[in-house]
Amino acid sequence: MKIALISSEAVPYSKTGGLADVAGTLYREYIRMGLDVSLFVPLYKTTSVKFADSMTDTGISLDIPVGSDIQKCRLFRLAAKGSPPDARGQVYFISNADYFDREELYGPPEGDYPDNAARFAFFSKSVLEVCRKLKLKFDVLHCNDWQTGLIPLYIEALRLREKLFEDTRTMFTIHNLGYQGLFPPSALDLTGLGPDHFTPEGIEFYGNINLLKAGIISADMVTTVSQTYAKEILTPDKGFGLDGVLRTRKDALYGVLNGIDYNEWNPAADPALPASYAQSDAAGKKICKQALISHCGFTGKSEMPILSFIGRLSEQKGIVLLAGSINELMRRGLKLFILGRGDAHLEKLLRDYAGRYPGDIFFVAGFDDRLAHLAYAGSDIFLMPSVYEPCGLGQMIAMRYGTVPVATNTGGLADSITAETNARQDMNGFLFNEHSLPSFTAGINSALQAYGNRKVWAKIVCSAMGTDFSWPGSAAKYLELYKGTAHNG
């Protein structure tokens, strides 16, 4: 089986969030499984700076129509200069300096780049053009999020008239329904699609075009990143206006929980940590906590629990709730670590609070992978008060590092955190039901109460560290879906 993974970001080449972890790690997992897989990603500025020595210019240059323009797609592939391609896998970088040689992937904190429709229509078309040029006959094109939503729609038409695509099946994975790729009707021209697609059954959405909808209506299989979220998005409450459309695809809709990369996230061998530790002996975690305390300049007793938040600063992540809880957390003498990048107004909100509590709150507005590792390891409790959460990786990473999550009972948080010991799993975290301040603080209180009892806490930490969030199970599920042998539910 020949598989293409197509994503607008993938670790280690580019990352703004969980999509990158999923695409990059799934690619490596498929290689580990001995599968024939290719990964397609844009060649961003950060990628070319960091990986200049690991990639080769294929010399292939293609003309891609974008509206009335013709844009050049130059194709690079992963392989140290002069070395042959890796027979087991192939990473293709789609390059166009105008579109991708920029500071950010999608835009600065103030807002998206205004030409994102053109940039990702270009990317989607380029991938198919590369398939043609290199005669790559894939069995499955696994597309991700709105940036690649046009691909299944293009394939629907192409497989009727092009032998190369006649047996190609498409999978479209929704990583977050809140980001739909909405553009004015004038953007239709950029996609190359005719006005017959600008209908309620097509990609029209309340007068705009919707690229996520393009993927949903046309892919052979639609998946999302947890089973609970797969159910939630069928409801008006969490469907972002697309619940009706999704209900029409209910029989082709599956939930597959993401995993995390056990090589990158491994407290027993993490080069970013001052000490290593494992489930059987968590002594190293104390050293990591000390290092985090020094890094943050936290004052007071080191037995005090450190609570942390790492994630995008967006309404979705419950930043307003987090900020709302701060006075109460400070009243109790707790320490709070926050690392996040995102909306300017949320950044300001957190900065204002942090300024009020020097020595107690440490806030970094930015993206810092190394610091994230130290914080996952050095803190005690991980806060994830998301309004909704398709899967969420932060809670899984935290658990792997023995940091116990307090999270909203929604989506993938509900599917990965066991808040009450049951026949299959010991309790490994805390869930709160209602997205409100009293409910959130009650969740934190339960965690603090458990923290106060050394034996109880050790058991929860041990269970959290032992929960399996590795990729093999989820990769096998995707493979079943590609082969058409999976059952829904």
Q: Residue 184 Cβ, how far from ligand ADP at the closest point, in Å?
A: 26
User: Is residue 374 part of the contact set for ligand ADP (CB under 6 A)?
Assistant: no
- Quick one: tokens of 284? 């190293």
User: Is residue 24 part of the contact set for ligand ADP (CB under 6 A)?
Assistant: no
SS3 37: strand
User: Is residue 129 part of the contact set for ligand ADP (CB under 6 A)?
Assistant: no
- Considering the complex, state which of residue 153 and residue 404 has its C-beta at the smaller distance from ligand ADP: 404
CA distances from 96 to 68, 77, 133, 263 (A): 17, 14, 17, 32
User: Is residue 372 part of the contact set for ligand ADP (CB under 6 A)?
Assistant: yes
CA distances from 276 to 69, 270, 284, 285, 469 (A): 54, 7, 5, 7, 19
- Considering the complex, state which of residue 360 and residue 389 has its C-beta at the smaller distance from ligand ADP: 389
- Could you tell me what percentage of the chain is helix, strand and coil, using 3-state DSSP and rounding each to the nearest 5? 40, 20, 35
Among 86, 166, 281, 369, binds ligand ADP (CB under 6 A): 369
User: Is residue 402 part of the contact set for ligand ADP (CB under 6 A)?
Assistant: no
User: Is residue 368 part of the contact set for ligand ADP (CB under 6 A)?
Assistant: yes
What does the per-residue mask of binding to ligand ADP show for 375-394, with x meaning CB under 6 A? ----------------xxxx
Q: Cβ(123)–Cβ(42) under 8 Å?
A: yes
Q: Greatest CA span in the chain, whole angstroms? A: 70
User: Is residue 267 part of the contact set for ligand ADP (CB under 6 A)?
Assistant: no
Q: Residue 26 Cβ, how far from ligand ADP at the closest point, in Å?
A: 14
Q: Which stretch binds ligand ADP (CB under 6 A): 55-63, 160-168, 207-215, 309-317?
A: 309-317
User: Is residue 341 part of the contact set for ligand ADP (CB under 6 A)?
Assistant: yes
Q: Residue 285 Cβ, how far from ligand ADP at the closest point, in Å?
A: 18
- Quick one: tokens of 340? 């996040």
Rg, the chain, Cα only? 23
d(CA 470, CA 278): 16
- Considering the complex, state which of residue 397 and residue 399 has its C-beta at the smaller distance from ligand ADP: 397
Among 215, 311, 318, 411, binds ligand ADP (CB under 6 A): 311
> What end-to-end distance do the CA atoms of the chain give, in Å?
25
| Closest listed residue to residue 29, CA positions, set 479, 356, 487 | 479
Q: Cβ(193)–Cβ(128) under 8 Å?
A: no
User: Is residue 17 part of the contact set for ligand ADP (CB under 6 A)?
Assistant: yes
Which residues here bind ligand ADP, judged by CB under 6 A?
A: 17-19, 21, 176, 310-312, 339-341, 367-369, 372, 391-394, 397
